[in-house]
Amino acid sequence: MSPLHQRHKCREGRDRTGRGRPATSTCGFTLVELMVALAVLVVLIAVAVPSFDGVRVSTQMNAYATSLVAGGQLAKSEAIKRNAPVSLCVSADGANCDTSGQWEAGWIVLSGTKVLLQQPAAASGYRLRDAGGASALTFQATGVGASPASITICRASPSASQARVVNISATGRTSVKRLSDGTCAS
C-alpha cells in the first residue's frame, strides 16, 4: 500500500478472536464527537458575537462623525472658493434644509440652491443631535461660521456604551471626541 493510502486509512475493527480480516471499517466522526465539536463552536460564537457588535457600532459612529467633519470642511472651503455663504444643514429630502429636523434625518451642504454634498439618513437606532438644537451651520465667504456646533452621535436603540461628539467651531475647525459614558440623550 502506498504511503498516501496509508495516511488516509480508516480505523479498522477486528473480529472477536483478534485474528483474520477486519470485521468492520469505521471512518468519520461519532455522534458524540460531532456534538462536542458543535458545543465548542456555539461557545466560541457566543463569546465572539457581542465583540463584533461593539466593533460594528463603533465603526458606524466613526463613519457618521467622519461624514459630518467632511461636510463642515467642504462647506467652509466652498464658501471661501465661491465667495458666497454655504450651509451644512439637516435635510430629510436631500434637496432642502429642514429647520425643525434632527441630524439623523440626513444632511446636505448647500450653496444657494445647489446641493454640493448629500448624506442620507442615519441607520435606525442612531441619534445625532446638536447640543444647542441647531439644524444648520452657515459659513460666510471668509470661511467663518455664524455659530459653533457640537453634535453628539450615539446608539439609542439598542443602547451602546459609546458615543462620538463632533465639534465644529465658528471658524470651521472640526474635532471628534470619543465618549464611553453609555448615555444617549434625547
Comparison of pLDDT for 117 and 10, the residue scoring more: 117
Q: Is the pLDDT of residue 147 over 60?
A: yes
- Termini Cα distance of the chain: 74
Q: Is the pTM of this model over 0.75?
A: no
Q: Is residue 6 assigned to a domain?
A: no
Element housing 37 (H / E): helix 31-82
Q: Structural domain of residue 57, as residue ranges?
A: 31-179
- Is residue 119 within 8 A of residue 108, CB to CB? The reply is yes
Q: Is residue 7 assigned to a domain?
A: no
Q: Is the pLDDT of residue 14 over 60?
A: no
Three-state SS string over 85-150 comes to: CEEEEECCCCCCCCCCCCHHHCEEEEECCEEEEEECCCCCCEEEEECCCCCEEEECCCCCECCCEE
- Is residue 125 within 8 A of residue 157, CB to CB? The reply is yes
Q: Is residue 78 assigned to a domain?
A: yes
- Output DSSP code: residue 21: S
Q: Is the pLDDT of residue 183 over 80?
A: no
* Burial (CB count <10 Å: 0-12, 13-18, 19+), residue 126: buried
Structural domains counted in the chain: 1
| Domain harbouring 35, CATH code | 3.55.40.10
- Output DSSP code: residue 9: P
Q: Is residue 76 assigned to a domain?
A: yes
Could you give phi then psi for residue 183, rounded to 5 degrees? -105, 145
Q: Is residue 23 assigned to a domain?
A: no
According to the model, what pLDDT value does residue 107 have? 94
- Predicted confidence band of residue 185 (pLDDT cuts 50, 70, 90): low
Q: Is the pLDDT of residue 89 over 80?
A: yes
- Is residue 24 within 8 A of residue 9, CB to CB? The reply is no
- Predicted confidence band of residue 11 (pLDDT cuts 50, 70, 90): low
Q: Is residue 61 assigned to a domain?
A: yes
Q: Is residue 152 assigned to a domain?
A: yes
Q: Is residue 132 assigned to a domain?
A: yes
Q: Is the pLDDT of residue 100 over 80?
A: yes
